[in-house]
């Protein structure tokens, strides 16, 4: 601790952020008090405004500072495909590839009995309501390729298939630029099973 109450308090607050340890928090605190007052005021105001303005899109669950998120509000997006993801960060990652032109559905989590998260704790019911409207022809399950993500995809798939809607899962395989030698066996097996004719 720096022995200066205001710096110690700031260090403590910053160290509660994910990935920020005590040493980094203290370095940041010392940096912040050395900045011009105007810059620090702007940082504080930006933090508070982001929290005040950003909320969940009532249609898809993505984050937005408008009434409806920018994807749902975009008239050029194709409305017959919905990509199901765990959280808003995933929407962000997929939007960066600038390839997908459909809509999203953000679950706000994945089914994880270990953490006490069941199907009713994530936005599956909201997804089913959207599908019931009849406009959606394909659901792309893009939850993470881990145990919870796979289980959640399997669960949702079982719910949707009887409705006659096409359900797809993002491909698993060797990452581009990756090397077979260093790829784990399950990924390699998936890459092999998912092989395509050229």
Residues that bind its own copies (CB under 8 A): 2-7, 9-10, 13-14, 17-20, 24, 26-33, 35, 37, 40-54, 63-65, 69-71, 87-89, 92, 95
Task: Please report how close the Cβ of residue 140 comes to its own copies at its closest, in angstroms.
Answer: 19
When the beta carbons of 57 and 160 are compared against its own copies, the nearer one is 57
Task: Please report how close the Cβ of residue 49 comes to its own copies at its closest, in angstroms.
Answer: 6
Please give the backbone phi and psi of residue 3, each rounded to the nearest 5 degrees, phi first.
80, 0
In the 8-state DSSP scheme, what is residue 153? H
Residue 78 contacts by C-beta under 8 Å, 6 or more apart in sequence?
A: 101, 102, 103
Q: Give the strand pairing for 55-56 and 138-141.
A: unpaired
CA separation for the pair 124, 155 (Å, rounded): 10
From 58, 37, 55, select the one nearest 130 (Cα to Cα): 58
When the beta carbons of 68 and 191 are compared against its own copies, the nearer one is 68
Task: Please report how close the Cβ of residue 5 comes to its own copies at its closest, in angstroms.
Answer: 6
Task: Please report how close the Cβ of residue 108 comes to its own copies at its closest, in angstroms.
Answer: 10
When the beta carbons of 87 and 148 are compared against its own copies, the nearer one is 87
Task: Please report how close the Cβ of residue 79 comes to its own copies at its closest, in angstroms.
Answer: 18
From 60, 64, 89, 63, select the one nearest 77 (Cα to Cα): 60
When the beta carbons of 20 and 170 are compared against its own copies, the nearer one is 20
CA separation for the pair 12, 61 (Å, rounded): 32
When the beta carbons of 54 and 189 are compared against its own copies, the nearer one is 54
């Amino acid at each position: 601790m720096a022995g200066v109450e205001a710096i110690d308090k700031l260090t403590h607050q910053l160290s509660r952020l994910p990935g920020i340890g005590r040493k980094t928090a203290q370095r940041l605190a010392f940096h912040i008090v050395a900045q011009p007052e105007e810059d620090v005021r702007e940082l504080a105001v930006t933090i508070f405004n982001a929290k005040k303005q950003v909320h969940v899109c009532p249609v898809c669950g993505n984050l937005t500072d408008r009434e409806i998120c920018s994807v749902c509000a975009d008239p050029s997006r194709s409305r017959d495909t919905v990509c199901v993801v765990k959280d808003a960060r995933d929407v962000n990652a997929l939007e960066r590839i600038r390839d997908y032109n459909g809509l999203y559905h953000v679950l706000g989590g994945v089914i994880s009995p270990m953490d006490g998260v069941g199907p009713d704790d994530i936005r599956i019911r909201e997804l089913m309501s959207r599908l019931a409207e009849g406009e959606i022809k394909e659901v792309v399950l893009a939850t993470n390729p881990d145990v919870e993500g796979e289980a959640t995809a399997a669960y949702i798939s079982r719910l949707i298939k009887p409705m006659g809607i096409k359900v797809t899962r993002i491909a698993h395989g060797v990452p581009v630029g990756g090397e077979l030698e260093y790829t784990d066996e399950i990924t390699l097996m998936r890459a092999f099973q998912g092989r395509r004719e050229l």
